[in-house]
Amino acid sequence: MKDYDYHQPTELADALRIKKGHGGEARFVAGGTDVLVLKRAGRLDFQALISLRRVQELQGISQDKGVIRIGGGTTLTQLTASELVRGKLPALHDAVSVMGCTQMRNLATVGGNVMSAVSSGDTIPPLLALEAVCRLASPEGERAVPLADFFPGPRQTNAQDDEVLLALEFPAPQPNCGMAFYKLGRRAALDLAVVSVCILLELEAGGKRIAKARAAAGAVGPTPLRLRAAEEKLTGAAPSEETFAAAAEAALAEAKPWDDVRASRWYRQEMIRVVLPRVAWTAVQRAQTGGRS
């Protein structure tokens, strides 16, 4: 039997007011695919749940001029169905398509994935590579925090307890950009990543050099990670096996993979060497063809 209160506001102001009334005893919930699993496992306790599912301000995927906005309450199914995501953000589309199962994707949200702050969270590497900013709302107002600065430690964010993740915002990729994501798991479905990598590359005119590179990885350290040293190796270099191998070594140095139940440190290191160049080549191919391939 349910041993907590359940609130279903439709407006952000009401959600924030209810949260203020309950303080730390209440928890926000979106799809509940993390919150309720943890509650049932006895790893999370609360006296009230405040559902964000019907809050209008958290909905929608849109582009205004050069900025794309994805509402925190957007479900994974809505992401995969979006023409904008499919056309302009193929790496995010790839990432969401391999998350969980259909039933889970119908409930789970991008905001819940980011706020869960697990190292293997699949939407996070693409959002890091896109240089997303988290728009947070509290009774005090709104603020923006770069996603790259959002995870101080495992399962921790820099959001305050009373803040709602309203949306993720980032510049729309340029037409000469290619973006790819790959998740290596122990099986094809319903598994968390052993290693995941996302790379966004912008090629110079003619395609001989990489003008801009953004790279990020999941499950290779305590938090999702922007691979800045790898980006430095890629920027200005010619797309080649040597460049991508050097970027993978740089990624290894900054990622510091570890042993756990899913894989050993050694295996993760070897897989970064395999996966990063593969993802980089797909990004190059997509940059050359102006989209998916």
Ligand X SMILES: Cc1cc2nc3c(=O)[nH]c(=O)nc-3n(C[C@H](O)[C@H](O)[C@H](O)COP(=O)(O)OP(=O)(O)OC[C@H]3O[C@@H](n4cnc5c(N)ncnc54)[C@H](O)[C@@H]3O)c2cc1C
The neighbouring-strand residues paired with 69 are 62, 169
**Cβ nearer to ligand X, comparing 30 with 177:** 30
Task: Give the residue nearest to ligand X (CB).
Answer: 112
In whole angstroms, the minimum distance from the beta carbon of 196 to ligand X comes to: 9
Task: State which residue, 221 or 291, has the beta carbon closest to ligand X.
Answer: 221
Rounded CA-CA distance 123/137 in Å is: 21
Residue 189 beta carbon to ligand X: minimum distance, rounded to whole angstroms: 8
Report the C-alpha gap between 72 and 81 in whole angstroms: 16
β-bridge partners, 256: none
Q: What's the DSSP call for residue 8? A: -
Q: Across the strands, what pairs with 117? A: none
Our CB check for ligand X shows the closer of 70 and 247 to be: 70
Q: Which is nearer to ligand X, 181 or 244 (CB)?
A: 181
Tell me how far apart the alpha carbons of residues 3 and 11 are, in angstroms, rounded to a whole number.
25
Q: Are 157 and 226 in contact (CB under 8 A)?
A: no
Name which of 58 and 197 has its Cβ closer to ligand X. 58
Q: Footprint of ligand X on this chain (CB under 6 A)? A: 27-35, 37, 52, 58, 72, 99-100, 104, 107-109, 111-113, 115-116, 120-122, 164-165, 190, 192
Report strand pairing: 210-218 vs 195-203.
antiparallel
| Residues 122-144 as b or e (16 or more Cβ within 10 Å = b) | bbbbbbbbbbbbbbbbbeeeeee
How far apart are CB 277 and ligand X at their closest, in Å? Answer: 23
CB of 73 to ligand X, least distance (A): 6
Asked whether the beta carbons of 197 and 275 are under 8 A apart, the reply is: yes
* Residues 275 and 182 sit within 8 Å (Cβ to Cβ): yes
Which is closer to ligand X, CB of 164 or CB of 225?
Answer: 164
Instruction: Give 196 or 282: the residue with its C-beta nearer to ligand X.
Output: 196
Number of H helices, E strands in the chain: 11, 12
CB of 246 to ligand X, least distance (A): 29
Distance in Å, CB of 258 to ligand X, minimum: 18
Q: Supply the minimum distance, in Å, between the C-beta of residue 162 and ligand X.
A: 10
